[in-house]
């Protein structure tokens, strides 16, 4: 079945969806960071790729990746219509993710990418462990308080 929207219109629709979801995943991670009692994070810190959260003293950048937009193997299923268009778009996102990661590492930052699906309540302990490892490792290596 053909998509009811043109690719441009579909893009705008999906962008609106993404905006909403990004906001909810960011807020979810925000709640988790607060729950972990981590300190020193910033939002909208000026860095390549605009990480969702940055810990400037620790030089730790955290991204939350939507399963669809970043091509998660478990949940990144393509819409049936315009599949090629979406495949190309997701491939571009993944390429950009790698480039951003390289840019940040070149600047001495560690990059932590978290999948949208890792934010589920069932995964809370594992996510906490993943965040803690990065947080405390960088705290030691950067000598921050």
Which residues form the interface with Zn ion (CB under 5 A)? 67, 72, 74-75, 115, 117
- Residue 54: phi, psi to the nearest 5? -135, 140
| Minimum separation from the CB atom of position 29 to Zn ion (A) | 15
Task: List 137's β-bridge partners, or say none.
Answer: none
| Minimum separation from the CB atom of position 58 to Zn ion (A) | 26
- Which residues are CB-neighbours of 11 under 8 A, at least 6 positions away? none
Nearer to Zn ion, 75 or 98 (CB): 75
| Minimum separation from the CB atom of position 131 to Zn ion (A) | 17
| Minimum separation from the CB atom of position 117 to Zn ion (A) | 3
Nearer to Zn ion, 47 or 64 (CB): 64
Class of residue 118 by CB neighbours under 10 A (exposed 0-12, middle 13-18, buried 19+): buried
Nearer to Zn ion, 93 or 139 (CB): 93
Nearer to Zn ion, 109 or 115 (CB): 115
Class of residue 48 by CB neighbours under 10 A (exposed 0-12, middle 13-18, buried 19+): middle
């Amino acid at each position: 079945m053909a998509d009811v929207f043109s690719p441009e219109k579909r893009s705008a629709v999906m962008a609106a969806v993404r905006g909403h979801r990004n906001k909810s995943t960011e807020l979810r991670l925000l709640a988790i960071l607060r729950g972990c009692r981590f300190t020193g994070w910033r939002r909208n810190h000026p860095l390549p790729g605009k990480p969702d959260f940055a810990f400037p003293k620790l030089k730790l950048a955290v991204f939350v990746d939507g399963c669809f937009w970043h091509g998660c193997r478990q949940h990144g299923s393509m819409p049936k219509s315009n599949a090629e268009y979406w495949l190309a778009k997701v491939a571009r996102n993944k390429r950009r993710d790698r480039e951003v990661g390289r840019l940040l590492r070149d600047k001495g930052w560690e990059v932590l990418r978290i999948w949208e699906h890792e934010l589920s309540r069932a995964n809370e302990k594992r996510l906490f462990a993943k965040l803690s490892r990065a947080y405390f490792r960088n705290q030691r290596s950067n000598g921050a308080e």
